[in-house]
Structure 1
């Protein structure tokens, strides 16, 4: 009898101890079947409730429950009756969470109130809770008998220690506050490896977007006080190695490479460096390799070059409204002396103005030009160019005159670092312009037909020697020069001509073009040009002119008029030949563009030539054309346009063809 009383006392004490801390007790305890509590036993009310919990306490479930044999097993709550009826969950309780919302934990559960009680499902639910990352492995599910039948499922969790703050080390090119903007959302939450990994990915993605593709989070450590310490390796360059340059000198290559040892590697800068190297036209290909130096933990950047022949002799033929059918011969060296300098000599001979015009004397167009360019003058953002030229042709500014020009200029250009698309230039040069009578008899006839004294002819033939100063600003965001699809080109130039034995004058002019992509391959171009005289008596050879392939198409050169100022606009739609890319992969054919356009413009300040040839001074035209890109020459433009306005002394009502090379303006 005494032994039974002792056993009763031991079980009662153990039961009280276990029930007082249900969140952390772990046992597989059941009363012997022969033992029964006496309901008439007088104990305190709270002790009675604890004993009832002990009666109802079933074997707890863990995330890795080894007692699960069948996914469809249900739990029999009857110990002696042998009942096998299914049991349902009547209530779900969450214990142990302080920060994470109970609703969040319940959302992870498949075993919900009213669902069939299934040990394997509950074990899987505990795994899902654990995989949220907020909790330790001490997760349990304790099934208890519920009043009125069913199971009262008690889920017991233990949160990870909360994060009280972050520190960041190793970052230089990205501000700490930018990194903290990613991390701060996790402060106050339990430590969660999933959230930390997500933050690491966001930090590395932020670096990558900025071009720092080597940046990595290399260490994440938590202190006992809840501070998480993050270390970043941004990817510092150990050395830049150049190989494959046999003719080009090392310092020429390296001055085109802005990345330097000791700086953080940036793929965007490297891409620009490669484009600069390719732009020298000294190389067929440029590649870069990245390798970590095991001794320093930094990176070696190897730039591999494939040099090409840079000295070329060119022969060409073409057609242009101003030069007629022409042939050209030239020599160019794009890596002069291995210093990346450019040297060119070109000669061109043409038949003269195309589409015979009674106002332009029929004679050959002869030109020669020598050019030199230092692409890195004192700095990678500065260039220095020199040009000398001779030209002899039938003037298309001054009717029936032979125009001879020779001169030279030096141009200094600087790209602004603060505004990468903006550059400024200034040219200093000298030019001699001679205008000789080409057909005096015909000129006298024209003057007589208009009742103008022939003594005015001398003013038309004014030339002289001039010193020139021309500052300019250019803004260029075009994606490419050939077949541009999007971007803006804007340029404004002041030209001051100081005469020696001739009148001095100055003028200002500018252009604005916008390229708008349409669909996948087409482009809509809108452009505006304008200019005017600032001071002095501007001679006719220097007057602004409209008409021809580079201004208002549908007219010959200068046929709309010449004057002291002008304004014009253009709208043009360009598209590839339909289905050409499906028919062939030939680059030449796929670069051909069809065009439809409208031109409009007006001249300000009437000139003597306008009166002699009854030029309208304004025009609106519309037409169609072809843009054909010829390697080595650039785009050739063939256009046909019809005027919608008065054509003056020339009957262009049936339209007119023009031929040009290069962009319209």
Structure 2
């Protein structure tokens, strides 16, 4: 009984203790009752720059409501966003009623009342003010003033003032809250880089080292390119590039610090940069082996490597070979396979043995293709460029080629293709991430050439056009559209061009163009106007060969004839229609469309006018054009190019080929030592009337002397005969010369001075011809 009573008392005591603990915990963790706010006051700790009403608009605490820390924090955050205040705090004062008064203590920022530039003589204050963000009327911000000073330093350095120094002073008036800011500028002389010299470079050529730098020496074109100006940030990035280049030339221990660079000033306006290299030992590749490979034999993998024992040890080349091994596995679906090049140095002989350790993976197939980031380009436009489809073996090489194809469309600034994991074993998703580029352009400008003299033009082009999508501003289908107007002293032109590269979602290009060309530069004895259209289809036939078939219809008008024109020209006065079909085959392996350094371009074609396709003109035209490019020496990216063309045009059905459809030679595009259309048959008045058979060849050697300039030396030879199928070279003409190739406005400007060698069948030098024009020759 006593025991039972004891247990009962124990339970009672335990329950009482639990109730006491619960009560204590409730008291500790229960939300505190927030005081009621009777009023909200604003108190400035210094000067007052804004009204109370403007501040109250940002305060979310209200009288009569409980104090809320969240609303208080939001109020402070909103006030700080105005950038008008230095410090803001809240305190709670006792109110007579026993509640609280919320007091916002505010320290105002000074306001800039005056901003001046002292010592600036090269640029006006208005120009410097445009470069900085601080301005009169704004709140004073010390960190912004520091950034503005650095901005001014960068601005001056870009203009060539490498010794520029910029500091600033601030004068504050605590009574008015106004501040005066003065930027003190010590401009120094304008300095250009005259030389960049390397010391201790041993086997590394100075020119090669300078090539890896963005900092360049001043040259005659620096007014246009900005080269020859010292810029701090760019130069120290160049030092990193030099270190990387030296390591890839085998000097793995290269030392190049800021202290190894000296700046010399042979005159007040010239700078010489001397960079001292401590290259150290040069390392070479020792023994090479591949291990841990099971799917492929070692001899097959070794053949894929581009390195061999005795080569200079280049980390970049080693990594490229490791990537080559990954590609071998990746092209048959082993995506996660990788090779790690283990390096075993031999300190005695300076060689490094390599062991490519292969880590093989499972085989993967394509589960799906996902496109993202295409805000205007249709997904079908992207997917049709992809060489992989769901169910295919996930070929890493085809994925990389697909990425290159998308990049070459120029629809996107960024293109990334990558495999992504899925929940299905042996399956990967192909993820395509793109960033849209600006594909539309509007251009206005003027042009000069020795043929057309002065021309002004306006052009709109869209390389990602969609003829049916007006809601997206006619963008997104991958079509090409171009409209161009030009007017000049000797010509007026109009062109409307459209191209659909994937007709009916097949790799078949369809396009058309409408044109009108009026020219007065072909002859001083007559004017010529051509107006018409052309429709074409283009398709890749096999490997790198592309075929193009077209129908062309135009009307040619000859008018404003001079009194002394020959009967041949007078007989063509008025209008003549030309209706023709044609086919061309093109093979192009050039590495660059503007400045090719290797590869070739070969084109052959035929045209049939009249007969079954109608029109007033009957002829057959056959032609072949070719160009081959050979890189010779790395220094200056020297290139030898050989060009050749030939063709013949033949009338039929009793008709002769009209003079305006024949071949002409002379001028900047062929025989540069002779005037425009000054080579070949002439009529009784001495006017060029063209020939029916031509052949032309040219050898040109170019060397890059600086960006973006190349110098050229050339030799041209060719003939133009009156008769068809007449390749008799007896009447050939040739010339030699030199010139410049300057890349500007998106195209090469060709400036040539050519000297004729043969003239009137006599090998005597004549008057040289000066030519300048835009575009490449093929």
TM-score tier (shorter)? 0.5 to 0.7
> Tell me, what secondary structure is at the counterpart of 2:457?
strand
2:580 equivalent in structure 1: 468
Instruction: Give the 5 Å matches for 1:131-530.
Output: 208-209=327-328, 212=331, 215=334, 233-337=362-466, 338-352=476-490, 365-379=491-505, 381-394=507-520, 396=522, 400-416=525-541, 418-419=542-543, 421-440=544-563, 443=564, 454-459=566-571, 461=573, 464-498=576-610, 502-520=616-634, 521-530=637-646
1:554 to 2:683 alignment: no
* Aligned residue number for residue 103 of structure 1: none
1:544 and 2:658 are equivalent in the alignment: no
Whether the aligned pair in 2 keeps the contact of 1:413 and 1:424 (CA below 8 Å) is yes
For structure 1, the residue ranges without an aligned partner over 5 or more in a row are 1-132, 134-165, 169-177, 184-201, 219-229, 353-364, 445-453, 581-589, 608-615
Gap change, CA 1:210 and 1:601, over 3 Å in 2: farther
CA contact (8 A) 2:363 2:426 kept: no
Q: 1:502 to 1:292 in 2, by over 3 A?
A: same
Provide the rounded CA distance (Å) in 1 between the counterparts of 2:484 and 2:741.
24
Q: 1:645 to 1:383 in 2, by over 3 A?
A: same
- 2:774 aligned with 1:658: no
Which secondary structure state, in structure 1, belongs to the residue aligned with residue 664 of structure 2?
Answer: strand
Partners of 1:502 and 1:631 lie apart in 2 by: 41
Contact 1:401 1:461 in 2 (8 A): no
Residue in structure 2 matched with residue 630 of structure 1 by the alignment: 744
Cα shift at 1:239:
2.1
Deviation at 1:631, TM superposition (A): 3.8
Check conservation: 1:402, 1:437, Cα contact below 8 A.
yes
Q: Which residue of 1 aligns with 2:133?
A: none
- C-alpha displacement at 1:235, in angstroms? 3.1
Whether the 8 Å contact between 2:493 and 2:517 is mirrored in structure 1 is yes
Q: 1:204 to 1:637 in 2, by over 3 A?
A: closer
How far does residue 540 in structure 1 lie from its aligned partner after superposition?
0.6
Alpha-carbon distance in 2 for matches of 1:260, 1:516: 38
Structure 1 position 179, deviation (Å): 6.4
Equivalent position of 1:32 in the other structure: none
Is contact 2:385–2:405 with CA below 8 Å preserved after alignment?
A: yes
Aligned to 2:262: none
- Measured after TM superposition, the shift of residue 531 of structure 1 is 0.3
Check the 8 A contact 1:407/1:432 in 2, yes or no: yes
Tell me the residue number matched to 1:646: 759
**SS at structure 2 position matched to 1:233:** coil
For residues 377 and 308 of structure 1, the distance between their equivalents in structure 2, rounded to whole angstroms, comes to 23
SS in 2 for 1:466: strand
**Cα distance per residue 1:503-541 (max 9 Å; x no partner):** 411111111110001112111001110000244321110
After alignment, is 488-497 or 252-261 more displaced?
252-261
CA contact (8 A) 1:390 1:406 kept: yes
Q: Partners of 1:380 and 1:478 in 2: how far apart?
A: 26
For each residue in 1:452-476, what CA deviation from the matched residue of structure 2 results, as whole angstroms up to 9, or x when unmatched?
xx54442354751011101000011
Aligned equivalents of 2:559, 2:374: Cα separation in 1: 52
TM-score scaled to structure 2, two decimals? 0.50
Q: Structure 1 CA distance, aligned partners of 2:336 and 2:581?
A: 56
User: Shift of residue 232 of structure 1?
Assistant: 7.3
Tell me how far 1:210 sits from its aligned partner. Answer: 7.9
Contact 2:388 2:394 in 1 (8 A): yes
**Per-residue deviation at 1:236?**
1.9
Larger CA Rg, structure 1 vs 2: 1
Distance 2:443 2:456 in 1: 11
Q: CA–CA distance in 1 between the matches of 2:485 and 2:322?
A: 58
Q: Distance in 2 between matches of 1:501 and 1:291?
A: 59
Question: Distance in 1 between the 2:650 and 2:567 partners?
Answer: 27
Greater shift, 333-342 or 489-498, is seen at 333-342
Once the 2 structures are TM-superposed, how far is the Cα of residue 294 of structure 1 from its aligned partner?
4.5
Change over 3 Å in CA distance of 1:591–1:275 after alignment to 2? farther
Give the whole-Å Cα distance in 1 for the aligned partners of 2:646 and 2:463: 35
Distance 1:282 1:208, change over 3 A: closer
Contact 1:463–1:502 at 8 Å: present in 2 too?
no
1:567 counterpart (683, 695, 708): 695
Per the TM alignment, residue 280 of structure 1 is displaced from its structure 2 partner at its CA by 2.9
Q: What is the CA distance between 1:333 and its match in structure 2?
A: 1.7
Q: Deviations over 1:40-65 (max 9, x none)?
A: xxxxxxxxxxxxxxxxxxxxxxxxxx
How many angstroms apart in 2 are the aligned matches of 1:207 and 1:572? 41
Question: Would the aligned equivalents of 1:242 and 1:304 in 2 still touch at CA under 8 Å?
Answer: yes
Q: 1:217 to 1:660 in 2, by over 3 A?
A: closer
Alignment-derived partner of residue 282 in structure 2: none
Q: Which residue of 2 aligns with 1:71?
A: none
Structure 2 unaligned blocks of 5 or more: 1-290, 302-320, 338-358, 467-475, 681-689, 725-729
| Alignment check: 8 A CA contact 1:259 1:270 kept | yes
Pair 464,493 (structure 1): closer, same or farther in 2 beyond 3 Å: same
RCO higher in structure (CA 8 A, sep ≥6): 1
**Is the 8 Å Cα contact of residues 395 and 401 (structure 1) preserved in structure 2?**
no
**What is the CA–CA distance in structure 1 between the aligned matches of 2:622 and 2:329, rounded to whole Å?**
40
Quick one: distance in 2 between partners of 1:275 and 1:203?
21
Residues 284 and 399 from structure 1, CA distance in 2 versus in 1: closer, same or farther, beyond 3 angstroms?
Answer: same
